[in-house]
Amino acid sequence: MTPEEPLRIALAQLRPGPDLDRNLDKLAALAVQARRQGAQWLLLPEYAAMLHGSRQAMRAAADRAGDVEAAVRGLARDLGMWVLLGSLVTPDGPRRMFNRSLLFDADGRVAARYDKLHLFDATLPDGRTIRESSAYTAGDEAVAVDTPWGRVGLSICYDLRFPGLYRALALAGAQILVVPAAFARATGAAHWHALLRARAIENGAFVLAPATCGDSPGGRASYGHSLALDPWGDTLGELGDEPGCLVVPLDLAAVARVRAELPGLSHERTFSVRLAGPSLLVPSDGMPHDTTA
């Protein structure tokens, strides 16, 4: 690729099932398809090889983390392309796990690792409760990595709801923000597009979000709609609710142009918060009383 040619990047949308080996076959087929379409970099979603199911199923998947890593490493090397394994369930001792992103270069070497910072503990609109913290260990650092095309900030799924992470990555020089995800269908329909556009606009960065889709083990329904956004927040491409591969060109010069027009990153200020107004106490009757009178 010459400097004048745009980076062609592929977002893979998958519907992982309970059979890890079959999931890897699907993943490999999409990788070959992406390479044939001229992609130099493939992004895979969160839980690309095994979507979140029972604790026992995920622990079994974690015990095969080495097999998954070797398979994706081989794909990157054999196809001569960079590959982001959106997340891999890896062991953290005998009882817990990490939700870890791995970025492989075109020689199959690990260029970066990132452990999901924010764990999804929530009750969904359909009444289902998810408690990632009961089985997973949170990461403790943000990660940005230099690639042949620019600096990339890593994140995973629920991280999307924490804008401070993306601001920190942008201030560290990230031009591309990746958000591999397995967003639930209900929250995805309500918030997915708005949150991704906000992160792109706030930071003047490309936002690339490969996603899982469809119904999977354990009754989990994923939203899909893998999305690529430019630094202005405009859509470069989007998939629907079925598996597929989206290939889009990225003009990295757009980041500098947008940040010059809207230089919010250079205007960032630190500040304290002062609570103004009368001091209020809330007694047992639930009615606030002004203590300054």
* Residue 288 is assigned to a structural domain of this protein: no
Buried b (16+ CB within 10 A) or exposed e, 113-140: bbbbbbbbeeeeeeeeebebeebbbebe
H or E stretch including 201?
helix 193-203
* Residue 278 is assigned to a structural domain of this protein: no
- 22 touches 5 (CB < 8 A): no
Buried b (16+ CB within 10 A) or exposed e, 165-178: bbbebbeeebbbbb
* Residue 215 is assigned to a structural domain of this protein: yes
> φ, ψ for residue 272 (rounded to 5)?
-105, 165
* Residue 268 is assigned to a structural domain of this protein: no
Q: Give me the domain span that covers residue 78.
A: 7-261
- pLDDT higher at 132 or 194: 194
* Residue 192 is assigned to a structural domain of this protein: yes
Ramachandran region, residue 173 (left: φ > 0; alpha: ψ -120 to 50; beta: rest): left
**How would residue 195 be classed by pLDDT, with cut points 50, 70 and 90?**
very high
- pTM comes to 0.91
* Residue 250 is assigned to a structural domain of this protein: yes
- Does residue 171 have a pLDDT over 50? yes
CATH code of the domain covering residue 34: 3.60.110.10
pLDDT of residue 251: 96
Instruction: Please give the positions annotated as active site.
Output: 46, 116, 157
- Does residue 1 have a pLDDT over 70? no
**How would residue 173 be classed by pLDDT, with cut points 50, 70 and 90?**
very high
User: pLDDT (tens digit, 9 = 90+) per residue, 46-55?
Assistant: 999 987 667 7
* Residue 158 is assigned to a structural domain of this protein: yes
Number of structural domains found in the chain = 1
* Residue 87 is assigned to a structural domain of this protein: yes
As a whole-number percent, the residues of the chain with pLDDT over 70 amount to 91
Name residue, tokens 């940040």.
259
